[in-house]
Amino acid sequence: MGKGDLIVVYDLPSENRLEIGNKGLIMRVKNLRIQSLRRLHRLGLLCTESVVIVPRAKEREVKEAVERIYKDYEALAKEENLESFIPIIKIIELVSDQEKELKEIAQRKLLKRLDELIDKIADIMAEIDEIVEEEKLKKIKNGVRRTMRELAEVEKLAKELGISTNGKVDLLYSLYTKALEKCKEVIKA
């Protein structure tokens, strides 16, 4: 492959495709699909519903993830005697026009998600003032920390892909840091 970034295009078999009444199997398939989606989404930025744009530097990691997903689906299909239960996952190298267009789409989706996080943190900050239970504040604090770690990964991926976040990640860090400080103040009081 050349120098362009990659996209991973996928269609994963889901529990909705099963015409069986076995709820245990349906849950196993659902869990496998969700686990596989998380594995794919961690590789890059979601561009459209079944397309993840990934920095070229993660090519080996992409191939390993795809191989793992195929093996997991194959094992479940064999164990449960499921036919036509193979995911479709393609790794495609982007050429310059495609890369430009898909990065615009990914940026729009990313900025929308960051706007949603800004709204969410505003709600959390308002909620912190009203909470008196220390355990609930600790849960909020842990959720804020987890989101900050996720933001760091998103920011890193965006930079690797040359996608601007228009300063929204910095704003979110600032807001989430204030939320953490506010939690600490309320817990101490």
Is there a single domain that holds both residue 54 and residue 106? no
List Cα–Cα distances, 101 to 79, 97, 183, in angstroms: 42, 6, 42
Distance separating alpha carbons of residues 182 and 36, to the nearest angstrom: 36
Domain with 13, as residue range(s), is 6-94
0.85 surpassed by pTM:
no
So what's the pLDDT on residue 99?
A: 86
**pLDDT digit string (tens) for the chain, length 189 residues:** 447 899 999 999 888 876 666 888 889 999 999 999 999 999 999 888 899 999 999 999 999 999 999 999 999 999 988 888 899 999 999 988 888 888 899 899 899 889 998 898 888 888 887 887 888 888 888 888 888 888 888 888 888 888 888 889 999 989 989 988 888 887 776
Is there a single domain that holds both residue 119 and residue 143? yes
Structural domains counted in the chain: 2
The answer to whether position 131 is within a domain reads yes
So what's the pLDDT on residue 189?
A: 60
